Amino acid sequence: MKKFTAGLLGLCSISLAVSQGVMANSHNDTDKVISTKDNGIKVTTLAQGLEHPWGMAFLPNGDMLVTERSGGIRRLSQSGELSGRLANVPEVVANNQGGMLDITIDPDFSENNTVYFCYSKPSDDGKPGSSSSVAKATLIDNALENVEVIFSASPVIDNGFHFGCRLVFDAEKSLYVTLGDRYKYMKEAQNTDNHFGTIVRINRDGSVPESNPFTGGDAPEVFSFGHRNVQGVTVHPDTGVVWAMEHGPKGGDEINLIKNGANYGWPEITYGIDYSGEIISDKTHMEGMEQPWLYWDPSIAPSGLVFYTGDMFKEWQGDILVGSLKFTHLRRIDVVDGKPTEQHEYLRDKGARIRDVEVDEAGAIYLLTDSPNGKVLKLTK
């Protein structure tokens, strides 16, 4: 029987190398990737024609908000009607990986109709550059009202890479925002006086929780650091611990359990190398730096991260679902006694880059496909 009690226990680092569905040797000989046929899974296209959809959030009435990296937020009704872009969405810098990225709703949405979204915000002085920023707004039908920026990563720089920008609320209603190292600034991921390569924690009004670890520094919002480009974040449904998933360079994608003030090592330690083949660091371990719960080498370019908690796919309960951009599939990581074991691939034959993964209360799984004609897919039995 599967025990769904990962918490901070049973941590292990497992190299899971994937090439055309074949598993290389790892730290545990029983670990393997199983290329799974999609028997018993019904795939329904709920919407299409989205411009590189990036993030989605369920509303209490069953509707869904979907972001488009090019700058839009759209509403998908339960009946499958896709709205035009919501009114009053702020300007984004849609450059390479930047644009309108993740979205989530307030824990008290039923009372306040508030949504939060993370995007690449233009610099305030009109000069070239952008920063990963979070705004909150009131959702009224198909429009945003009272739009307010509550956080902007510092400093503002001019490139279009590694924005991070995943969002999640914990049980205390604190908001976690993942931030990338902005590629050329990787060494700054070890500097807690800026926001490069960090996960920040803020209150719903943008203020800083008193228990944040670096409140005396120049970036008091920082909760953890030493990250490269976090593309998935979720909260464990039993323990309340925040889990995050980040892109490595060429190899070294990671899943980590996030702790207050912890250093996750980038770029001082890594299981990957530079795209050119150059060594970034010859170290994978260092005192005072966390080891990943799981890593992939070579990379699968994971995006979107959620624990499966529904009843529709009962045998999946407690497992982790992630999308793979590089290998175009949905991946399920079997979690047993808090440790990763077998991994399973689904929908690979569709050739779709999976950007985000969510699960509704009934246990249906929703995917976003990253393309100029992106889709919302629903997986049921």
Pairing of strands 365-369, 374-380: antiparallel
Residue pair 310/363 in contact by the 8 Å Cβ criterion: yes
Half-sphere exposure of 261 (CA within 13 A, CB side): 9
Pairing of strands 42-50, 374-380: antiparallel
Active-site residue 27, yes or no? no
Please give the Cα distance from 367 to 48 (Å, whole number). Answer: 12
Q: Which helix (H) or strand (E) holds 109?
A: helix 109-112
Residue 262, amino acid: A
Catalytic residue among 52, 162, 236, 247: 162
Half-sphere exposure of 15 (CA within 13 A, CB side): 14
Half-sphere exposure of 28 (CA within 13 A, CB side): 14
Residue pair 167/134 in contact by the 8 Å Cβ criterion: yes
Please give the Cα distance from 166 to 102 (Å, whole number). Answer: 5
Enzyme catalytic residues: 162
